[in-house]
A and B are shown apart, each in its own frame.
Chain A
Amino acid sequence: MARSQSADPPVDLLGPVTGEVSWFCCGSAWGPCSSTGRGACGTCNSGSMQHAWPNTSDACWAITRPDSCGVGLSRRTCGFTHRITALCSGTSVVTSIADCGPQTDLFCGERSCCGATCASNRLIDLTPAAYSKIASLSSGLRPCEISVP
């Protein structure tokens, strides 16, 4: 049975939230990604402007548990759009939810920095097409700001 969400208001309702962003593959793919499906929404594709969000459903929340890292996030479902801004470069991309993730609780407290600008906890994963708009894929992990466009 899915555990209930925290009673605290989601931080993203109050304004932009900062966290870490990485990238993941989905849909038709090669290598270790070849066994990956089309994600929780059934539409995920590495070449599309999409992302994974930790709170797309009760079942998703039960896996990702950002609240265990002290972060409440709003329930947002397939197709909802976010703007993700890389704090390193200031560039941004607008993408839509296509999957559940990342598994925030497994990386609680992790912090990424660009100089003195830092952000903690994995709150969002982008497809390669989306991530490569705001950072090199070889960077792997970056601090970002997440907002509603």
Chain B
Amino acid sequence: MTSRRQVLKSAVLGGGAGVLAATALGSLGPEAAFGAAAPGVAPGAPDPDFAEGRIRSVKDNTLFVLGSNMVFHRIRVVDGTSLWKLGPVAFDQAKPGDGLYARGVRMPDGVLAAESVWLNIVNVKGHVRNITSEKLHLDHNGQEILCHRVAGKSVAVYSDAPPSADLSLLRVGQHVQVLGAWRPDTNQVDIATVFSPH
């Protein structure tokens, strides 16, 4: 079975000349970084192979991201990187201002070679305050979040039933989980999946 490190190694070595150049100044080459077993992270500790924050700028194949804790990240998108923004997207959908979570392999020069980047992804639970054919008003800990149905994208999962494009079974007052894509600097979310317990 191919590990994610092997996949990333292959992707970086195959098309990531920038990564090779960047790591030339480090103590380890990328082969060593990807060839090594992923180091165990102690429970409770920050994971160095994970990053979160908002994109400040995009240059070539690198996202320059300011973490919410004010730590700066350089996130390299390589051939094998998957990007999500309400669904699988191409790299050009990553925009300044987007929030993100990313997982990958931290290179010796500090760059995170990304396996996955989730753009604007949110996963919130709350009560349905109102619902129309196009919108769902969610009370999330007293904060209203306006959730938009996106044709061809939004689905509901009613317990263990297969995903359905029919959101009409959702009811005012019930509790749901909304997984979706945040519209930056608003209280609005585009719905990917609504999870309903029944």
Contacts and interface: CB of A to CB of B under 8 A. Distances in A.
Interface stretch (B13-21, B29-37, B48-56, B129-137): B48-56
Contact of A46 (B52, B125, B140, B189): B52
A129 B48 CA distance: 10
Interface residues of A, number: 47
* Chain B facing A: main interface SS: strand
B67 A138 contact: no
A64 interface: no
Give the residue among A27, A32, A48 with the most B Cβ atoms within 10 A: A32
Interface in A34-90: 34-35, 43, 45-50, 79, 81
Contacts of B121: 137-138
Contacts of B103: 129, 132-133
B197 interface: yes
Contact of B50 (A79, A81, A96, A129): A129
B68 A28 contact: yes
Contact of B101 (A98, A110, A111, A132): A132
B68 A30 contact: yes
Contacts of A30: 52-54, 68, 99, 182
Contacts of B118: 136-138
Contacts of A132: 50, 101, 103, 116
Interface in B120-177: 120-125, 140-141, 143, 145, 157, 159-160, 175, 177
24 contacts: A27-B68, A28-B69, A30-B68, A31-B182, A32-B122, A32-B187, A32-B189, A45-B46, A46-B52, A48-B46, A49-B45, A79-B44, A95-B44, A96-B43, A106-B197, A109-B159, A111-B159, A128-B50, A128-B101, A130-B47, A132-B101, A138-B84, A138-B192, A140-B193
